[in-house]
Amino acid sequence: GKRMAAPAPDPQFTLRGAGSAVCALHFCSGAQGRPLLLSGSLRGLVHIWNLETRRPLAALDGHGGQCVTWLHTLPRGPQLLSQGRDLQLCVWDLAEGRSAVVDAMRLESVGFCRASILAEGPQRWMLAVPGRGNDEVQILELPSKTLVSCLKPEAGARLGMPMCLQLWQAESSPRPLLLAGYEDGSLALWDVSMRKLCSRAACHSEPVMGLALDPRRARGVSGSAEKALAVWSLEGQQALQVRGTHELTNPGIADLKIRPDSKILATAGWDHRVRVFQWRTMRPLAVLAFHSATVHCVAFDATGLLAAGSGDQRISVWSLYPPT
Amino acid sequence: MDPVASAVRLAVQEALHILSSSEDGGHIISTLRSLRRYLGETETQAPAEEQEEFSRTHFSTILRCLVGKLSPDWLDLLPDGQLEELWASFFLEGPADQAFLVLMESIEGAASPSFRLMKMAQLLARFLSAGRMAAVMEGQCGQQNYFPLLGEEVLRVLQAVVDSLRGGLDCSISFLSQVLGKACVHGRQKEILGVLVPRLMVLTQGNCLWQRVCWRLVERVPDRAMEAMLKGLVEASPGPEVLSRLLGNLVTKSKKAQFVMTRKLLFLQYSCSTPMLQSLLGYLAMDSQRRPLLVQALKELLETWGSSSAIRHAPLEQQRYISKALLICLAHLGEAELQASRDELLASLMEGVKSRLDNSLPPVRRLGMIVAEVASARLHPEGPPLKFQYEEDDLTREMLALAAPRPVADGPLEAGPPVAPVGGESPDQETVDSGGPQAGREGSDSELDSDDELVPYDMSGDGEQRSSKTPAYVRDCLEALTASEDWERWEAALRALEGLVLKSPAATREVSLELAKVLLHLEEKTAVAGFEGLRQRALVAVTVTDAARVAEYLAAQFYALNYSLRQRMDILDVLALAAQELSRPGRLGRASQRGPPGPGSQPSGATVPAWQAVVEERVRRKTRRFCKGSTGRAAAAGPNEFNVVAGYFFFPLLQRFDRPVVTFDLLGDDQLVLGRLAHTLGALMYLAVNTAVAVPMGKALLEFVWALRFHGDAYVRQGLLSAVSSVLLSVPAERLLADLPDELLEARSWLADVAEQDADEDCRLLAVKALLLLEKLRDRLLPLSSP
């Protein structure tokens, strides 16, 4: 007979003490490979959580009380990049327990668009951030902070502001690509070195709030303010093609992530819920109704752990469908 | 060296030598006779210590030697079977345990039918019929594991019997049956059957000879042991299939067995576990000869189940038992068999359902509902399905599971717990086509597609979110509940109301009566999950916030025209819950923190109603207070908030119970509400502990109890009895004796009667509890009154 579905799972544990809404999450490994979770809060703090003791190791205050929207670590150092609504992108040195801003750069856009980084080589990184103009994306080289290119749609395109970015370089190709979701609901694929808009697809009718790409399948998914996810593919690395949409119970997706092993997709919902899908088939697997406010961000670590940060100031950590 | 031991050893060695080599009959017989001295049966006995030495160390050797000599020629060395008789006497008269062992050994060791095997089997029969087994057992009695050992021995004998049957020899095993019966009668079923059943289960599998031996074994168990044996077997068998293999058609052959299986275990006892019941009834169902018994059992079960007298007098546990047996029967019986006696069954069912639904005890009603649903679906499959509303719990689930039709054969067990997803290969092995990009085609790469085994969790709770329409103020809720045509808003208001009321007591008091009225009349206009609970909690919150006014209103509405029974019961529930909340210690501190001082602080003269003034005046005149404040529990540090308002909750409810109105007759058909009223009054009384009004409340409540004490409904009586206990707990002992001595005496004799004679177990228990409280009261007062 058919097995009864197991009751909705509970989080493995919860992290409290962020002090305000949790807007950004990022897993990294700390000293001796110990797993750490970084969270950015509405009040401008970055917390570093020890996942064994489940307590914050440190709280970094570098954004003048303004919301931290994006976090990323670089292997060197280790260094942490944090993006804040104070228009600063800070570079932190976290080695040996330090927590000092070693570098900072001024951003041009006040929007909510999160940056994206391509850290392929050990020394040179490529960073995509929203640019000065209303609709442009800047590509910078780190650590030199040189402006590599400025991606601006043609005059009549009316894409609106960029809302989410994803830099990406296929193994088979020397050229980095940028996927950008725009205010008008469309998704664009840019060839960064050629500064050329390769393809564009109208995926949503509302601003694209987040996107996630599965490079192995050359397929991705995006969410917006509306009640559906859009699944699309990159044909021949140049043509964006909408594959289908997936209807949701409630409108509003703030963030999406595909687990590194490409098995499952997690979405952060305005309806306070985290939704988990089987990525290949988009079959819904679980609805995690734990938070009591909007879920702003989700993140996976290499071992498959899922974290979700919410406006209820809590971070929930889940272990679902452990990878083998 | 011990001279005795060496003497015996020498003699034995010589004898063994002669026995193994001599062909002379006379020589042999004299040697055997000399050995018999050690068995102590002859006139010329050997000394006791020599006998002991012989039987401890040499007897089995001698026996083995004797077995070895057994042949037609050897026995014919002397005429008339003299030698054989002497030979056998060693086995029959020597130490029984060793003789038995050697016997079994030689029978087991015989490879094929032979002269020796036949002789040994005959000897075993003589051994058994001579009662030597008893001697074996006697020898074992000192040991701990006697009964399991006995079981093993029985198995050995059975094996021997089977072997000899194979060899074409007839055997009787009634002795073994008696042994088995005896052990069972002595209450050792678990021990002996725990050994026998697992082995027999294996041996009888697909082996007709073993099955026949087993059937014969149980058939020949004496009648007086039959019940013990059968009960043990039903318990020890893992299922009906095994039971059927072990028992065969015993129930059709033995009247006693039939009585035990179809009447005693079903109707006269109710001690079998559910698996036992399933085995028993499944056994009856497994053979066409036995199935008529199952139909008969169903008829009788249904008759008992439906008998109103049984419902009133049988313990609830037994009623559950009968109901379970009924459902199992129904699951086993086929359409045709049920149709054949459908009219008879339906008649019993309908009568039973009616009596059960009329009963005011919820478990009795629920049994009625479950059985009625299942039975009517089976008996009347073409009709519309019967569906009752009852809460699902372990019992209902268990019972409904019993009613599920049996699988035809016992299939393999369901797979175990969900398996963690296992990926086919590791991601490293993936080979990306370097020439071109991965196309998004599904099913293109096996590694990425190996995640089919991800099992979804339950997502039934994933509903639409509707928080946008939640009202923010109590008045908005009121407006939304009365006037709104927007059902989302209506539901949001209902969901938010309790929280808003508790958050803003002042705003609530402005509209408390209106709110109470709206909530009391609120109907579920759209399907709202948990509607009843939401409404009740909101009403309780309103009552707690503005206790005096709302409680008085609700209590007055209890006797008003044009309410449904449901609404009247709601009123009682809300009053009890609100009183409980108000009397909770520590509540006051929290309440005063969050708002301006409410009516809970101090009763002003203006708010004290007329009845209370009269009561208090009387209390003041008649009471000398010498132990002010010494009663009650240390835990309640703050004043009881219920104190000031208890009268509003309590007295209006007592006013008109004996005056029926057109739509509401407490002393007539609406006894369920009367029972609930009695329970509620008891609860209010209990919560009024340490309040000034407890004494008049207690007096009024005892009068109420007295008027209704012979009520025919058990639920009402239970309510009255718990009310008496509440009075005894809540009214200070001195005041009870001073103000209510006659009432107490009357109550006491009534309680004693109930405790002894009431048909309902819970009533008897409650009466005993109340009597104990009375006793305690007396004990507490006696030292006080003594100088």
pLDDT (0 to 100) of residue B388: 86
State whether B435 and A249 contact (CB < 8 Å): no
Name chain A contacts of B440, Cβ cutoff 8 Å: 217-219, 233-235, 241, 243
pLDDT digits (tens, 9 = 90+) for B588-614: 544 433 333 333 333 333 444 566 666
Interface ipTM: 0.88
Interface of A with B in 163-182 (CB under 8 A): 170-172
Question: What is the enclosing helix (H) or strand (E) of A211?
Answer: strand A208-214
Interface of A with B in 273-302 (CB under 8 A): 273, 278, 280-281, 283-287, 289
Question: What is the enclosing helix (H) or strand (E) of B539?
Answer: helix B531-545
- φ/ψ of A188, rounded to 5, equals -125, 145
Sequence ranges of the domains in chain A:
20-106
Question: How many CA atoms lie within 13 Å of A160's alpha carbon, on the beta-carbon side?
Answer: 17
Q: What is the mean pLDDT of residues B192-196?
A: 89
- φ/ψ of B386, rounded to 5, equals -85, 135
Distance from CA of B476 to the nearest CA of A (A): 24
Name chain A contacts of B448, Cβ cutoff 8 Å: 216-217, 262, 280
For residue B467, the 8-state DSSP code is -
State whether A264 and B461 contact (CB < 8 Å): no
Cα B297 to Cα A107, B265, B285, B322: the distances in Å are: 86, 11, 11, 11
Name chain A contacts of B454, Cβ cutoff 8 Å: 263-264, 278, 283, 285, 321
Ranges B55-59, B326-330, B538-542, B546-550: which has the least confidence: B55-59
Interface of B with A in 48-107 (CB under 8 A): none
Strands A45-50 and A55-61, sheet pairing = antiparallel
DSSP for A89-131 reads EEEEE-GGG--EEEEEEE-S--SSPPPEEE--SSS-EEEEEE-
State whether B457 and A8 contact (CB < 8 Å): yes
pLDDT (0 to 100) of residue B596: 35
Q: What percent of chain A lies above the pLDDT cut of 90? A: 69
Distance from CA of A184 to the nearest CA of B (A): 25
Residue B344: closest CA among B384, B306, B387, B318: B306
Distance from CA of A38 to the nearest CA of B (A): 27
Inform me whether the C-beta atom of residue B419 falls under 8 Å from chain A C-beta atoms.
no
Q: A296: which residues sit within 8 A by CB, 6+ positions away? A: A21, A22, A23, A24, A254, A255, A268, A309, A310, A311
Instruction: State the residue for tokens 């018994």.
Output: B293
Whole-angstrom Cα distance, residue A219 to residue A239? 11
pLDDT digits (tens, 9 = 90+) for B31-90: 888 888 888 766 677 788 888 888 888 888 888 888 888 888 888 888 778 888 888 888
State CA B782 to chain mean position distance.
43
**Strand ranges of the sheet holding A88-93, from the earlier edge strand across to the other edge:** A68-74, A79-84, A88-93, A100-106
Distance from CA of A135 to the nearest CA of B (A): 29
Distance from CA of B404 to the nearest CA of A (A): 14
pLDDT (0 to 100) of residue A120: 67
Q: Is the pLDDT of residue A224 over 50?
A: yes
- The residue in chain A having the minimum alpha-carbon distance to the alpha carbon of residue B441 is A217
Inform me whether the C-beta atom of residue A5 falls under 8 Å from chain B C-beta atoms.
yes
Determine contact, residues B677/B572, Cβ cutoff 8 Å.
Answer: yes
Q: What is the mean pLDDT of residues B158-167?
A: 89
Inform me whether the C-beta atom of residue B527 falls under 8 Å from chain A C-beta atoms.
no
Whole-angstrom Cα distance, residue B491 to residue B534? 10
Distance from CA of A185 to the nearest CA of B (A): 22
Q: Is A262 helix (H, G, I), strand (E, B) or coil?
A: coil
Name chain A contacts of B430, Cβ cutoff 8 Å: 216
Q: Is A253 helix (H, G, I), strand (E, B) or coil?
A: strand
Q: What percent of chain B lies above the pLDDT cut of 70? A: 84
Q: Residue A142: left (phi > 0), alpha (psi -120 to 50), or beta?
A: beta
Interface of B with A in 351-370 (CB under 8 A): none
Distance from CA of B463 to the nearest CA of A (A): 7
Interface of B with A in 433-472 (CB under 8 A): 434-440, 442, 448-449, 451, 454-465
Residue A171 has its nearest CB partner, among B423, B432, B440, at B432
Determine contact, residues B78/B25, Cβ cutoff 8 Å.
Answer: yes
pLDDT digits (tens, 9 = 90+) for B751-777: 999 999 887 888 999 999 999 998 888
Q: What percent of chain B lies above the pLDDT cut of 90? A: 24
pLDDT digits (tens, 9 = 90+) for B378-418: 888 888 888 888 888 888 888 888 887 665 433 333 333 33
Task: Give the bridge partners for A228, in sequence order.
Answer: A247
Q: Is the pLDDT of residue B96 over 80?
A: yes
Name chain A contacts of B439, Cβ cutoff 8 Å: 218, 233, 235
pLDDT (0 to 100) of residue B430: 39
Ranges B90-94, B134-138, B512-516: which has the least confidence: B134-138
Residue B737: closest CA among B784, B703, B674, B704: B784
Q: What is the mean pLDDT of residues A206-216?
A: 93
Residue B571: closest CA among B444, B673, B448: B673
pLDDT digits (tens, 9 = 90+) for A43-84: 999 999 999 999 999 999 999 999 999 999 987 767 899 999
For residue A297, what are its two tokens? 């961000």
State whether B422 and A324 contact (CB < 8 Å): yes
Whole-angstrom Cα distance, residue A217 to residue A201? 18
Question: What is the band of B423 on the pLDDT scale with cuts at 50, 70, 90?
Answer: very low
Residue B274: closest CA among B411, B371, B401: B401
Give me chain B's average pLDDT, please.
81
Q: What is the mean pLDDT of residues B340-355?
A: 88
Q: Residue A64: left (phi > 0), alpha (psi -120 to 50), or beta?
A: left
Question: What is the band of B441 on the pLDDT scale with cuts at 50, 70, 90?
Answer: very low
pLDDT (0 to 100) of residue B434: 39
Determine contact, residues B250/B257, Cβ cutoff 8 Å.
Answer: yes
Q: What is the mean pLDDT of residues B533-553?
A: 93
Size of the A and B interface in Cβ pairs below 8 Å: 104
Question: What is the band of B587 on the pLDDT scale with cuts at 50, 70, 90?
Answer: low
Whole-angstrom Cα distance, residue B414 to residue B402? 17
Name chain B contacts of A304, Cβ cutoff 8 Å: none
Whole-angstrom Cα distance, residue B708 to residue B657? 11
Inform me whether the C-beta atom of residue A1 falls under 8 Å from chain B C-beta atoms.
yes
Buried/exposed A301-321: b ≥16 CB within 10 Å, e otherwise = beebbbbbbbbbbbbbbbebb
Q: A204: which residues sit within 8 A by CB, 6+ positions away? A: A185, A186, A222, A224, A225, A226, A228, A230
Q: For A20-106, which CATH class?
A: mainly beta
Inform me whether the C-beta atom of residue A156 falls under 8 Å from chain B C-beta atoms.
no
Residue B103: closest CA among B92, B113, B115: B92
Determine contact, residues A115/A24, Cβ cutoff 8 Å.
Answer: no
Is omega for the bond preceding A143 within 30 degrees of 0, making it cis?
yes
Determine contact, residues A65/A43, Cβ cutoff 8 Å.
Answer: yes
Name chain B contacts of A271, Cβ cutoff 8 Å: 465
pLDDT (0 to 100) of residue A119: 81
Residue A278 has its nearest CB partner, among B422, B451, B465, at B451
> pTM for the complete prediction?
0.45
Whole-angstrom Cα distance, residue A279 to residue B406? 41
For residue B676, what are its two tokens? 């609930």
- The residue in chain B having the minimum alpha-carbon distance to the alpha carbon of residue A270 is B465
Residue A284 has its nearest CB partner, among B438, B459, B461, at B459
Instruction: State the residue for tokens 């409630």.
Output: A250
pLDDT (0 to 100) of residue B603: 36
